Structure 1
Amino acid sequence: MCGITGWVSYRRDLTSHRQLLDTMTETMACRGPDAAGTWVTGKAALGHRRLAVIDLPGGAQPMTVETADGPVTLVYSGEAYNFTELRDELRRRGHGFTTDSDTEVVLRGYLEWGEALTEKLNGMYAFAIWDSRAEKLVMVRDRLGIKPFYYYETDDGVLFGSEPKAILANPLAAPVVGIDGLREIFSFAKTPGEAIWKGMKELRPGHLAVVDSNGLRERAYWRLEVSEHTDDQQATVARVRELLEDIIARQLVSDVPRCTLLSGGLDSSAMTSLAARRLAEDGETVRSFAVDFPDQAENFRAIDVAPSVDTPYVHAVAEYVKCDHQDIVLDGSALSDPAVRRAAIAARDLPIGLGDRDNSLYLLFKAVREQSTVALSGESADEVFGGYPWFHDERREADTFPWLAGGPVLGDTSSLLPDDLAARLDLDTYLRDHYVTALKEVPLKEGESGLEKRMRQVSYLHLTRMVNTLLDRKDRMSMAVGLEVRVPFCDHRLVSYVFNTPWSLKTFDGREKSILREATRDVLPESVANRKKSGYPGSFDPAYLAAIKGQASDLISSGHPVLDLCRVESLKQAIAAPGESITTQQRAAIERALDLAAWLDLRKPTITLD
């Protein structure tokens, strides 16, 4: 896992801009703490920061192959889980290898198949290849968008990077946030391809882009498609189990210590148990980690997406599976530390306003990184198998993104916006337009109607919108501390198979995630197999709430520029609300204001409303 960046220019000599490339590359240091490398020629400059996971001595980048017609050079972030099979195939086709890394497999795969390489890869990846033979740059992002990739077109080429901060380190990219950027920040609906920075784009999942002297062209190489599901219930359950076992075995391959992130929910518990079985074949014990908070059971407040405390279920799994388990306990003072908030915002580059849930995720990953370099996560199973509450109640019929029906589940902060700014942003219309656009993309079977049609739409919206937000969050928080997080439930084979499984079959026992539960029930404690969906936990430590109220009061007293984006009266009311009666919306408003303030201080954006 790594951080990549680069610059292609058809009218400049980039050999005179090495220092600027170094600056862009250095912004990715957190993503690649083990090594750095750059490669510069007249028209192309590529930078790489490495987190060594596979072939520690042999995977240095940028990686170049000299061909008879000129060099072909790669910067690559991610993992190709089928690199062993691809390497064998390439050897049969006459390719020789000088390393054991998946990086070289991707590079030589491009030499053999060109852009069609994308059809062969299984993994999470973002990479760029400068092909001097055609003087073109090929940029590729994995099918589900697990790894991030941004680009910024210039007057004679392109800038790119794993994160916006790499691009913004180049003076050709101005740090300007326009009205659509603000709408993305405040809407809780991730629009594929859009970055909040003016002029910057996100390479969409399952897409590649080619840059040459004629400009930039982006196209899809993979998308969700409909196909006939012919397996019955028993065969479907068996196929899901078969896929999971194969996926997890592949994703456990590593030359560095690995572990699992265990929440005690169905997804992470099933993953951990299957990982334990695979590792036991080699005489190894799976290591697992969970987040917890002091006095969580006493302070806990149930919400729609998190109705129960995790710890009893975590410990039940750890005992059942015989994990080498550790709870990472985070108290209110750690979560409310302004330095932690700044670190979390710096990692995400977005003031989304998830507050302590972002702060705790950052601290969890930081603690895990002290003992492991690779972690497997249960992220995205809810999007794949239909686990969220709104898949199963009236919200699925709402004429909007289902997770926004009734307001964002972690608190609607729209009341925090000043009236004039709220009117300019017109978030309702923005969301409506993007919802309509998203629905038009949904592939439907001929004659599909009623509930089956609607649930295909709901599944598609989650797999192309909501999941992008969660994957980006997990990637940014983990890579900020040099931890590689792998997401087995995002294997495109599993996603495609389950996407085409009828909703009636996905809920054959009248519950959420019926297929996953049945496919893994035999490796789980009964209490966990039957546990209702419960999302990533928040802290209810009174010390945290008291601390953030004080910090928000300081913002108001200091006249911080964030107040231009906030309705001060609403913020004061939230601060004044007693701890035992503060609403979810009020707490979210405080956290949103603090996140916005940290973002403004760190990124110093120019904000325009045009």
Structure 2
Amino acid sequence: MCGIAGWVDFERNLGFERSTVRSMVATLANRGPDGEDVWASTSAVLGHRRLAVIDVPGGKQPMLAEHDDRTLAVLVYNGEIYNFRELRAELDRRGHSFRTASDTEVLLNAYLEWGAGCVERLEGMFAFAVWDERNRELVLGRDRMGIKPLFYAPLGSGVLFGSEAKAVLAHPEVEAVVDAEGLAELLGFVGTPGHAIYRGMREVAPGHVVRVRASGITERRYWSLPVREHTEDRESTLRTVRELLTDSVVSHLVSDVPLCTLLSGGVDSSAIVAIAARAMRDDRPRSFSVDFAGHAERFEADKWHRSADAPFAAQVAEHVGTDHEPVVLSTHDVVDPVTRAAALRAQDVPRPLGDMDRSLYLLSRAVREKSTVALCGEVADEVFGGYNWYHDPSIVGSGTFPWIAVGQRYASPQGLGTGLLDPALLKQLDVPGYCADRYREAIAEIPVLDGESATERTMREVAYVHLTRWMQILLSRDDRLSAAVGLELRVPFADHELVEYAFNVPWSMKTVDGTEKALLRDAVRDLLPEQVLTRKKSPFPTTQDPAYGQALREQFTAVLDDPASPVRELVDTGAVDELLAGDAPIPIDGWRDRNNVDMVLQLDSWLRHYRVRLAL
């Protein structure tokens, strides 16, 4: 996990612009605390911040390919190539030589051998930029699932790029402008591939390569979810799922620095931990979980959180044999404005998940004190159909993305986190209409499988939008909040071969008698305690401490009482007055009030500190 940034221009002389790119790279310092460097030529400047994970002494970047004292190509890269040893062997047979043991050099030589088509041979999580001096071309590549981020923005006769939007925004000629479409995308929580919120900026879409030449910018999709008939019976399917998941976990264990696992006590993370423990054999694995002070005493089951994580995590740790450490957060930690600012800064835009984001940030910070790399069980729900709304016909048939329909039902008709915003603004943006349009675009992408029943087609559509939209939101969240503290988070369930296979397993095999993720549960049944295998899904935990609601109220009131607050003109004063009537803390049960308030607080901080200009 690293940070990359750069500037290419085909008309200007960039030989003296090292300092500009150093400023861009400096915004990514937390992604790469182990090293920083910049390379420059007349047409390109590439910068890198390094988190050393593989070949600590040899994998420095930018990395140059040279021949006869002539630079052929320069690479900056973020991520891990899990099949780099196999690729290295093939490249060695083809006559390439290596000076290091790093996957970085393998990627650079793969580009020299196969050009931009090298992406199709890579297995892993990656985002890279190659400046090809031979033909004056910049190539930007991103992994199939979009685990690692990469943004770019055309500028004059060239382009800027960076691992995060903040790196592009750090360029002195770029202004943080958000137009109506960008704000609708942000408030809608859609996850449109390639959409970067900021006007004039794009994100390289998952499974895409962007090529920048003097003649212009082109984008090519090299991977998409394949639609094919599933011919295996259920027992064979279970064996294949187990084999693919095991192979993925084992490949994700490659590291030259301390590695651990995150453990919630749900079937997803528990399966990862159990497989990792078997693969590591003599090395007792380390695991971490997150909890809140006093959570066990005050926990009350609700629609989303049906059981507390801590007892299940402890049970799995004992069953599997990990060196387990709960990370216990205080209410002060979670509600601290400094923590909120850090989580917002990590993600570059406000998000309506409130203390769930801050808890992940704080967990990552604590884990980073002991480990550099962590495996987690994220996105198993997207791969195996784990959300309860998969079983709700009114949500599945809502005509919009299921997670948005859920937010409209339980939070606000305009979506999660929007309940305190000005109705006139929301009407102008038409967030529900925007989401419905993006949903129709997503559904239109899915090829038709001959002979598929209407039910199976519908559930394929549900799976597709989760894998191509909702997964992007979660992977982005995970990457930014962990990278903000220098922790590399790895996601074995996002292995593209596992995703492809599971996507084509019929819904009737994925679920049994309404049990979510029945296929996954049965595939790992021999690894886990029965209580964990039968545990209902419980999302990332949130605090139930009333003091959190009181602190939210105080912070919210302070912002709205500040005449200089930029968010004041965006809120619904009537809804605010109703919420603040009396002296009670902000209600924190469910999603609605706590996330509405938190979204306003984040919007205020974002507008202030990013100096965002809304062009509506």
TM-score (normalised: structure 1) = 0.97
- The code of the aligned residue for 2:229 comes to E
Cα pair 2:550 2:586 within 8 Å, conserved: no
Residue 44 and residue 32 in structure 1: after superposition, are their counterparts in 2 closer, same or farther (change >3 A)? Answer: same
Q: 1:573 maps to what in 2?
A: 578
Once the two structures are TM-superposed, the CA of residue 51 in structure 1 deviates from its matched residue by 0.2
Cα pair 2:566 2:608 within 8 Å, conserved: no
Q: How does 1:488-527 map onto structure 2 within 5 Å?
A: 488-508=492-512, 510-527=514-531
Once the two structures are TM-superposed, the CA of residue 447 in structure 1 deviates from its matched residue by 3.3
Once the two structures are TM-superposed, the CA of residue 180 in structure 1 deviates from its matched residue by 1.2
Counterpart-to-counterpart distance in 2, 1:162 and 1:349 = 12
Counterpart-to-counterpart distance in 2, 1:288 and 1:207 = 34
Q: Are 2:85 and 1:84 aligned?
A: yes
Residue 409 and residue 491 in structure 1: after superposition, are their counterparts in 2 closer, same or farther (change >3 A)? Answer: farther
Q: How does 1:147-186 map onto structure 2 within 5 Å?
A: 147-186=148-187
Question: Helix, strand or coil: the match of 2:37?
Answer: strand
Cα pair 1:304 1:389 within 8 Å, conserved: no
Question: Helix, strand or coil: the match of 1:263?
Answer: coil
- The code of the aligned residue for 1:367 comes to A
**1:462 corresponds to which of 443, 466, 473:** 466
Residue 354 and residue 494 in structure 1: after superposition, are their counterparts in 2 closer, same or farther (change >3 A)? Answer: same
Deviation above 6 Å: which 4+ runs of structure 1?
A: none
- The code of the aligned residue for 1:27 comes to T
Q: 1:121 maps to what in 2?
A: 122
Q: Are 2:267 and 1:266 aligned?
A: yes
Counterpart-to-counterpart distance in 1, 2:406 and 2:268 = 26
Once the two structures are TM-superposed, the CA of residue 493 in structure 1 deviates from its matched residue by 0.3
Residue 495 and residue 406 in structure 1: after superposition, are their counterparts in 2 closer, same or farther (change >3 A)? Answer: closer
Counterpart-to-counterpart distance in 1, 2:244 and 2:510 = 16
Counterpart-to-counterpart distance in 2, 1:467 and 1:409 = 21
Q: How does 1:554-573 map onto structure 2 within 5 Å?
A: 554-559=558-563, 560-573=565-578
**2:445 corresponds to which of 428, 441, 448:** 441
Cα pair 2:549 2:586 within 8 Å, conserved: no
Counterpart-to-counterpart distance in 1, 2:341 and 2:380 = 30
Pairwise CA RMSD:
1.5
Q: How does 1:188-267 map onto structure 2 within 5 Å?
A: 188-267=189-268
Counterpart-to-counterpart distance in 2, 1:51 and 1:460 = 33
Q: 2:4 maps to what in 1?
A: 4
Once the two structures are TM-superposed, the CA of residue 173 in structure 1 deviates from its matched residue by 1.8
Once the two structures are TM-superposed, the CA of residue 128 in structure 1 deviates from its matched residue by 0.5
**1:586 corresponds to which of 587, 593, 598:** 593
Counterpart-to-counterpart distance in 2, 1:59 and 1:598 = 37
Q: 2:14 maps to what in 1?
A: 14
Residue 410 and residue 358 in structure 1: after superposition, are their counterparts in 2 closer, same or farther (change >3 A)? Answer: farther
Q: 1:313 maps to what in 2?
A: 312
CA deviation map 1:373-418 (0-9, x unaligned): 0000101000000000111122222211111224258843333121
CA deviation map 1:158-204 (0-9, x unaligned): 10000011111112221111111111121121111111111000110
Q: 2:436 maps to what in 1?
A: 432
Q: Are 2:282 and 1:278 aligned?
A: no
Counterpart-to-counterpart distance in 1, 2:544 and 2:135 = 58
Gaps of 5+ in 2: none
Cα pair 1:403 1:409 within 8 Å, conserved: no
Cα pair 2:586 2:593 within 8 Å, conserved: no
CA deviation map 1:527-578 (0-9, x unaligned): 0011111110111112211111100010111131111221133233334473
Counterpart-to-counterpart distance in 2, 1:221 and 1:100 = 28
Residue 301 and residue 192 in structure 1: after superposition, are their counterparts in 2 closer, same or farther (change >3 A)? Answer: farther
Gaps of 5+ in 1: none
60-69 or 579-588: bigger deviation: 579-588
Once the two structures are TM-superposed, the CA of residue 70 in structure 1 deviates from its matched residue by 4.2
Residue 555 and residue 277 in structure 1: after superposition, are their counterparts in 2 closer, same or farther (change >3 A)? Answer: same
Cα pair 1:304 1:409 within 8 Å, conserved: no
**Percent of residue pairs bearing the same amino acid type:** 50
- The code of the aligned residue for 2:430 comes to D
Residue 586 and residue 390 in structure 1: after superposition, are their counterparts in 2 closer, same or farther (change >3 A)? Answer: same
Q: Are 2:352 and 1:347 aligned?
A: no
Counterpart-to-counterpart distance in 2, 1:585 and 1:517 = 32
CA deviation map 1:261-289 (0-9, x unaligned): 10110000010011011111xx1011000
CA deviation map 1:447-494 (0-9, x unaligned): 323110001000000000000000000000000000000000000000
170-179 or 154-163: bigger deviation: 170-179
Matched positions, count: 607
Q: 2:614 maps to what in 1?
A: 607
Question: Helix, strand or coil: the match of 1:259?
Answer: strand
Residue 413 and residue 312 in structure 1: after superposition, are their counterparts in 2 closer, same or farther (change >3 A)? Answer: same
Cα pair 2:209 2:220 within 8 Å, conserved: yes
Cα pair 1:357 1:538 within 8 Å, conserved: yes
Counterpart-to-counterpart distance in 2, 1:67 and 1:392 = 59
Counterpart-to-counterpart distance in 2, 1:510 and 1:570 = 39
Once the two structures are TM-superposed, the CA of residue 298 in structure 1 deviates from its matched residue by 3.5
Residue 582 and residue 142 in structure 1: after superposition, are their counterparts in 2 closer, same or farther (change >3 A)? Answer: closer
Once the two structures are TM-superposed, the CA of residue 581 in structure 1 deviates from its matched residue by 5.6
Once the two structures are TM-superposed, the CA of residue 131 in structure 1 deviates from its matched residue by 0.6
Counterpart-to-counterpart distance in 2, 1:200 and 1:107 = 26
Once the two structures are TM-superposed, the CA of residue 432 in structure 1 deviates from its matched residue by 1.3
Residue 322 and residue 399 in structure 1: after superposition, are their counterparts in 2 closer, same or farther (change >3 A)? Answer: same
Cα pair 1:571 1:589 within 8 Å, conserved: no
Counterpart-to-counterpart distance in 2, 1:605 and 1:279 = 48
Counterpart-to-counterpart distance in 1, 2:34 and 2:417 = 40
TM-score (normalised: structure 2) = 0.96
Once the two structures are TM-superposed, the CA of residue 304 in structure 1 deviates from its matched residue by 3.5
Q: How does 1:542-557 map onto structure 2 within 5 Å?
A: 542-557=546-561
Cα pair 1:10 1:156 within 8 Å, conserved: yes
Counterpart-to-counterpart distance in 1, 2:580 and 2:344 = 22
